[in-house]
Structure 1
Amino acid sequence: MKLIGKTLTLAAAVVCTASLMASKTMAEPVQLTTLEWPPYVNSDGSGTSTDRVIEILSGAGIETTVQVFPWNRAVNLAAKDPAWLGVYPEYYSEADDADKGGDRCLYSKSFGTSPVGFAQRIDAPITWSDHADLTSYTIGVVSGYLNEARFDAMVANGELQTQEVTADDANLKKVAAGRIDAAVIDREVMAHLLADMPALAERLEFNPVPLAEHGLHICFENSDAGRALRDQFNAAF
């Protein structure tokens, strides 16, 4: 009986230690990457998307820290560095979706929306109702951004005349200066940027024909840890 008691005591100690270790691991904050893309994400990581992501993960009992990087680096870190378990806010791409045969990441449910269209000059608006109409224009895009499936395919095939920049504000300046006819941009991002650029705001407007309205997602690392976190995030809605 004494031997059994000692064995049970030892087993209980092992279980307790394992439980404490698990609790410690679970208590470590989850790290996500993001980009500066106000009003969704500001330079310090705050913003409407960050608020919503942290709110949902907090509902699942998960503490979260975020860090702002240039977009392409944010994507690569979340895909390849185990220290970072996801990147947001992302548009959905079936080609990247590990659940659909892709290999980059696992998409969460949509936690918000992004209305996408074209910035244009008020005195020289573009006119389009079909993608083929866009072949008449030179259009600014941001390097590394998904825009809309058919538009991006036409860019890749050389059917559209585009110029790349690294940030949305550069595109707005080029449109205002007449160096390009229009630029792909999120409507809320455009409004936010123009609030600090009154001279440009007097010359630019958002084209009334939408290109797309995207859901915003976290793209979780394609790993067991990423999948577990994605499932916890989705269940917390």
Structure 2
Amino acid sequence: MPAATVRIATGELPPYATAEANDSGTALQIVRRAFALAGHEVRYQFMPWQRAQNETRAGLWDASAYWGANEERQRDFLLSNNVMSEQWVFVHRRDKALTWRKLGDLKPYTLGVIKGYTYTPEFWSLARKGELRTDGTPDDLAGLRKLLLGRLDAMPMERGTACYLLLSHFSPEEARQVDYHPRLLTDSFTTHVIFPKDKPASAQLLEDFNRGLKQLQASGEYQRLLRSVACPPHWQESPGRH
């Protein structure tokens, strides 16, 4: 394998990271193009997110893409500059209104969660204390299915991912049953390529990636890659309807 090839562990978060897409999804294409501008090829290996993080920490991969920043990752990895910002919202059934201003307001609801997802430190802290009622879910698609079956009241989900899954895996009638609360889980959700701290090549790969990413953003190609995601028609309505 050529020395310039970067082996990256990743997971499924369509349309941003997915084996279903020829370009591997928006975020992974940004990562690929940034590395290419720095002289590296990229090879992705898809696996469950938690495994991708654990194996990268152990040095089995050159990097993992792409992740939110949290205390654990800042301790164990070198984090790149921001790949792209995400919008995390709570999705819920349209016939079951969701009301919240602070996370503690969500105590009455059963919330789907995915192990290994970042969410926010406050969210996970409340979940660990039992102040939020959570239900472990394997992935976002399964979460939406459980929501439609009434087994969940709500689930934190990246808005574009929810849109993509609703339009590609559900009938229009099913999609119409799902809504979202416009309040963001956090107003600053950056995402990053993470590199194992103990791997000798990590510091140089981080520098190369950040240089390529800066060049990509300056070229205008970055904005073209950040294509908008189609959403169910009723999601286009003005927020504040809650």
Which TM-score band applies after superposition, normalised by the shorter structure?
0.7 to 0.9
User: Which residue among 181, 188, 210 is the counterpart of 1:234?
Assistant: 210
Amino acid paired to 1:41:
A
- Relative contact order, higher structure (CA 8 A, sep 6+): 2
Which residues of 2 match residues 43-62 of structure 1 at below 5 A?
A: 43-44=19-20, 46-62=24-40
Shift of 1:81: 3.1
User: Which residue among 46, 68, 76 is the counterpart of 2:46?
Assistant: 68
Secondary structure of the residue aligned to 2:7 is strand
User: Which residue among 159, 164, 168 is the counterpart of 2:131?
Assistant: 159
Could you tell me which residue of structure 2 aligns to residue 132 of structure 1?
Answer: 104
Secondary structure of the residue aligned to 1:185 is strand
Could you tell me which residue of structure 1 aligns to residue 81 of structure 2?
Answer: 109
Could you tell me which residue of structure 2 aligns to residue 215 of structure 1?
Answer: 190
1:33 correspondence with 2:4: no
Shift of 1:173: 1.3
The TM-score, its normalising length taken from structure 1, stands at 0.83
CA–CA separation in structure 2 for the residues paired with 1:216 and 1:201: 27
> Is the alpha carbon distance of 1:220 and 1:44 closer, same or farther for their aligned partners in structure 2, counting shifts above 3 Å?
farther
1:95 correspondence with 2:69: no
Shift of 1:224: 2.4
Secondary structure of the residue aligned to 1:33 is strand
The TM-score, its normalising length taken from structure 2, stands at 0.81
Aligned-residue CA RMSD (Å): 1.6
Q: Deviations over 1:148-204 (max 9, x none)?
A: 121111111211100011111111111122212101111011000001212420100
Task: Indicate the structure with greater helix content.
Answer: 1
Secondary structure of the residue aligned to 2:134 is strand
Shift of 1:25: 6.1
Shift of 1:96: 2.2
Q: Deviations over 1:21-71 (max 9, x none)?
A: xxx9643x1100110111011125711011100111111111111111111
Total equivalences in the alignment: 207
Q: Deviations over 1:76-124 (max 9, x none)?
A: 2211134x11111100012321xxxx2x211000010111011111111
Q: Which runs of 5+ in 1 are unaligned?
A: 1-23
Q: Which moved more, 1:184-193 or 1:140-149?
A: 140-149
User: Which residue among 94, 99, 109 is the counterpart of 1:122?
Assistant: 94
CA–CA separation in structure 2 for the residues paired with 1:142 and 1:154: 15
Contact 1:175 1:181 in 2 (8 A): yes
CA–CA separation in structure 2 for the residues paired with 1:202 and 1:26: 49
